[in-house]
C-alpha cells in the first residue's frame, strides 16, 4: 500500500501543531472567564491545564518516536492493545475532530458577522437559538472547499499557507504581549481574584476548560507519516507544541489583564479585543480580532488534514472501509479520505454554531478518552521498543488522571461543566452506538496483517509489543 508523501519539515509540523491548537473564541470570550473565575483563576488554572497536557504530551512523544505513521493514536493503540482499543481510540478522536470541523463551517461567517453586519442577512433557519444566515454559511462552505483543494495535490501547499498564518498569529500575539506589559500595570491585575472569590476552587474549576484549550496537539503525531524529519524530532515537536501554544495563551491573557483592569474586562463583550481598545490601543484591538480569525482558519486547516489521516489509519487496519486508506501515487495524498472528510464536515456544518456546540461539548469527553488510551499504551509499550523515562511516565499518569476528571465533570450532572441535558447526552450515546455498529460490521482480518499495513512493512516484525513480552 502506498505511503503518504513526506513533505513536512520541523517548522511546518510545528506550525500545524501550534496553530492547530490556538483557536479563535478564547481571545474574545475571556471576559466571560474573567467574570466567572477571576483573572487569577483563569491564568493559574490555565497554567495547570498546560502542565497536565504537557504530561500527556510526554507519552505522545515517546509513542510518536516508536510509531511515526499516519493516524498516530490509532496506530499506537493497535500495536499495544489490539483491534478493539484501536477502534475506540480512532473513533473518539474522529468524533472530536469532526465536531470542531463542523463548527468551523458557520463559525467563520459568524465571527466575521460581528464586525461586518451585512453578513447577518438572509436568515435561513434557527437551531438552538442561533440563526444561520446565507452569506455566513456560503463563506464557510467556500472555505471548506478551499482547504480541500489546498490538500488535493499534496500537503506541502497547505503547509505553506499554515506557516504564513502561524507567523501572523505569533507576530500579533507578541505585539499584544509587549504592549500589554509595557503600557499596562500590575495594579490592573492585582488583586487577581474578586473579594468574595475562593481562589483555590476557582483555579481548579478552570483547569477543565484550560485543558480543552490545548486539545489538538496530538495532530502532530497524526501527521507523523507526512513528516520528513526523524521520529525522535517528531516526538519532541509534540511536546514543543504544547509548551509554545500554552505559553502563548497564558501570556496573551495575562497581558489582557495587565493592560486594563481585569474587573472591567470581565464586563466587556469581546475580551482582549475590547480590553486593548479601552486601554487606548484600537489598532491592537483589531490585531486581537485578527488573531481570532487566523486561529479559526489554522485550526480548521490542521484538523481537516488530521481527520483524513485518521481515516487512512483506520482504513489500513480494516476498522473502516479499506478504500479510505487509498493514497494517490502521484501526489502522495489520501484523496478518498479527503473527500470523506469534506462530505462529513459539510454534512454537519450546515446545522450552525448553536447545534454544533452540542458536538463540541461532547468532544471534550472524546479527547479525554483518547488521552487516557495514549497513557495506557505508553505504560504497555516495553522499553525495548522505545526508551522510557520513569519521570515522564509518572507525569503522563497525572495527565491521564486529569483527563479522567474532565470526563467525570462532564458526565456528572450539576458540576458546572456537565453536558447539556438531553441534547448532548443523546449525541454522545448516538456516536457511541454508531461506533459499536461500525465496529461490528467491519471486516475481520488477521491482526498481524493489519498491523503490518499500519506500520508499513511486510509483516516480518508485526507481532505487537505486548505479544512479544
Measured between alpha carbons, how far is 443 from 445 in angstroms, rounded to an integer?
6
In this prediction, residue 109 carries a pLDDT of 86
- Can you give the pLDDT at residue 184? 97
Residue numbers of the domain that contains 181: 10-455
Looking at residue 396, its pLDDT comes to 84
Which residue ranges of the chain lie beneath pLDDT 50?
459-469
Whether 198 is in a domain gets the answer yes
Tell whether 271 is covered by a domain: yes
Please tell me the predicted confidence (pLDDT) of residue 15. 93
Predicted local confidence at residue 208, as pLDDT? 67
**For the chain, how big is the Rg over CA atoms in Å?**
22
Cβ neighbors of 350 (< 8 A, separation 6 or more) are: 105, 106, 132, 137
* Number of structural domains found in the chain: 1
CA angle 210, 297, 216 (to 5 degrees): 35
Q: Is residue 327 part of a domain?
A: yes
pTM, 2 dp? 0.90
SS3 191: coil
pLDDT at 459 (0 to 100): 44
| 463 within some domain | no
* pLDDT of amino acid 466: 43
Any domain includes 466: no
CA angle at 367 for the pair 365 and 372, rounded to the nearest 5°: 95
Half-sphere exposure of 74 (CA within 13 A, CB side): 34
The answer to whether residue 380 is domain-embedded is: yes
Query: With contact defined as beta carbons under 8 Å apart, do 367 and 97 qualify?
Result: no
> How far apart, in whole angstroms, are the C-alpha atoms of residue 202 and residue 206?
6
- pLDDT in the model for residue 353: 81
DSSP conformational letter for 422: T
**Alpha carbon distance 447, 313 (integer Å):** 14
Write the CATH number for 311. 1.20.1740.10
Apex 469 CA angle, 91 and 72, nearest 5 = 25
Give a yes or no: residue 467 inside a domain. Answer: no
Amino acid at each position: 500500500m502506498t505511503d503518504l508523501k513526506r513533505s513536512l519539515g520541523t517548522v511546518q509540523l510545528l506550525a500545524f501543531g501550534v496553530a492547530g491548537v490556538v483557536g479563535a473564541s478564547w481571545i474574545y470570550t475571556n471576559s466571560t472567564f474573567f467574570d466567572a473565575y477571576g483573572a487569577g483563576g483563569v491564568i493559574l488554572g490555565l497554567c495547570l491545564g498546560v502542565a497536565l497536557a504537557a504530561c500527556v504530551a510526554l507519552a505522545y512523544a515517546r509513542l510518536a518516536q516508536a510509531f511515526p505513521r499516519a493516524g498516530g493514536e490509532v496506530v499506537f493503540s493497535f500495536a499495544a492493545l489490539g483491534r478493539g482499543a484501536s477502534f475506540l481510540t480512532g473513533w473518539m478522536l474522529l468524533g472530536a475532530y469532526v465536531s470542531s470541523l463542523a463548527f468551523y463551517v458557520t463559525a467563520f461567517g459568524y465571527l466575521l458577522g460581528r464586525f461586518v453586519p451585512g453578513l447577518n442577512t438572509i436568515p435561513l433557519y434557527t437551531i438552538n437559538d442561533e440563526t444561520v444566515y446565507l452569506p455566513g454559511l456560503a463563506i464557510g462552505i467556500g472555505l471548506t472547499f478551499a482547504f480541500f483543494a489546498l490538500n488535493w495535490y499534496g500537503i506541502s501547499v497547505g503547509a505553506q499557507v499554515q506557516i504564513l498564518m502561524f507567523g501572523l498569529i505569533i507576530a500579533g500575539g507578541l505585539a499584544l504581549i509587549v504592549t500589554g506589559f509595557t503600557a499596562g500595570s500590575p495594579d490592573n491585575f492585582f488583586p487577581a481574584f474578586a473579594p468574595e472569590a475562593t481562589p483555590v476552587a476557582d483555579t481548579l474549576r478552570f483547569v477543565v476548560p484550560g485543558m480543552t484549550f490545548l486539545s489538538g496537539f496530538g495532530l502532530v503525531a497524526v501527521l507523523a507519516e507526512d513528516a520528513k524529519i526523524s521520529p525522535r524530532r517528531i516526538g519532541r515537536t509534540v511536546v514543543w507544541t504544547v509548551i509554545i501554544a500554552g505559553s502563548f495563551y497564558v501570556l496573551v491573557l495575562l497581558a489582557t489583564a495587565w493592560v486594563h483592569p481585569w474587573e472591567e474586562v470581565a464586563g466587556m463583550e469581546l475580551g482582549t479585543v475590547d480590553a486593548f481598545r479601552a486601554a487606548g490601543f484600537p489598532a491592537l484591538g483589531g490585531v486581537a480580532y485578527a488573531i481570532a480569525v487566523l486561529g479559526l482558519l489554522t485550526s480548521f486547516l490542521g484538523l481537516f488534514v488530521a481527520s483524513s489521516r485518521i481515516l487512512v489509519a483506520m482504513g489500513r487496519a480494516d476498522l473502516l472501509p479499506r478504500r479510505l486508506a487509498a493514497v494517490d501515487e502521484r501526489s502522495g495524498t489520501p484523496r478518498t479520505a479527503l473527500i470523506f472528510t469534506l462530505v462529513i464536515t459539510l454534512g454537519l456544518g450546515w446545522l450552525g454554531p448553536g447545534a454544533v456546540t452540542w458536538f463540541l461539548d461532547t468532544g471534550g469527553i472524546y479527547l479525554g478518552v483518547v488521552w487516557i488510551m495514549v497513557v495506557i499504551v505508553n505504560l504497555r509499550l516495553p522499553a525495548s521498543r522505545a526508551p522510557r523515562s520513569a519521570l515522564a511516565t509518572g507525569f503522563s499518569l497525572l495527565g491521564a488522571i486529569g483527563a479522567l476528571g474532565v470526563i467525570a465533570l462532564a458526565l456528572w450532572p450539576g458540576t458546572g461543566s456537565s453536558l447539556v441535558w438531553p441534547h448532548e447526552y443523546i449525541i454522545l450515546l448516538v456516536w457511541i452506538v454508531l461506533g459499536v455498529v461500525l465496529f461490528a460490521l467491519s471486516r475481520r482480518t488477521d491482526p498481524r496483517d493489519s498491523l503490518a499495513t499500519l506500520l508499513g512493512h511486510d509483516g516480518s516484525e508485526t507481532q505487537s509489543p505486548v505479544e512479544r513480552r
